[in-house]
Homo-oligomer: A and B are copies of this chain.
Amino acid sequence: MDFWFSIGSTYTYLSVMRLDRVEQQTGIAFSWQPFNVREIMREMGNVPFADKPVKLAYMWRDIERRARHYGVPFRGPAPYPLQDLPRVNRLAVTAFAQGWGKPFVRAAYRHWFERLEDPTRDETLPGLIEALGRDPVQALAAADSPQGHDALAAQTRAARELGVFGAPSFVVDREVFWGDDRLEDAIAWSRAA
C-alpha cells in the first residue's frame, strides 16, 4: 500500500508514528511516498486551517485525542504552517533514494511535535541530518539541486495523477483513502481486494 505524505501535514504525524506497528499487525507493507501537498492544495484553492482559527484549534484538539488513543506522544500545538515545506520534502525524497528516508521523516516529525519547533529552519535541518549519521552539506546540496527539485515534482505529479489532494493519503490499486483516520478503511479495502 502506498502512503503519500508531506512533512508539514499535521495529521501525518499520527500515521508516521503508528505505521510500523500497523505494518507488523497487518502484514501489509507500506511504500512511503513524499510529495508536495501544498502545491496541489494551492492549485485547488484548498486552505484547510491556516486562515481558520476555530478549525485550527479543533484540529489540534482532535490530533491530541487521536494521539492519546494511539498511544502516541502529544505535547501541544506545534508551529504551523512550516516555513519551508518544499525543501524538507525534497530532502525526504533524497533520503528515501539513499535509504534513510523513514528515519529522517520520523526525526523531522519528532522535532516538530516533541520539541515543538519548526524542523525546516536553516539552523535545524543540518542537525537532524547529522544525527542520522549523514552529511548535511551533501544531503542539502542534493535536495536543492535541479535533480532534487525534479524528483519532488515527479512525486507530486504522480500523486496528482492518482487523485491525491491531501496528506496523508493511502492508495490501494488506484483507490484513494484520504486522512490518517481512513487507514483502517484502506486496510479493509486491501484485504477485500
Contact = CB atoms under 8 A, between A and B. Distances in A.
The prevalent SS among residues of A at the interface is helix
A178 B49 CA distance: 14
A191 interface: no
Contacts of A45: 47, 51-52
Q: How many copies does the complex hold?
A: 2
A176 interface: yes
Measured as residues with beta carbon below 8 angstroms from the partner, the interface class of chain A is 20 to 34
A58 B176 contact: yes
A62 interface: yes
A154 interface: no
Contact of A165 (B54, B181, B185): B54
A42 B182 CA distance: 27
A127 interface: no
Interface string A151-192: 000000000000101100000000011100110010011000
A185 B177 CA distance: 19
Interface of A: 44-47, 51-52, 54-55, 57-58, 61-62, 65-66, 69, 163, 165-166, 176-178, 181-182, 185, 188-189
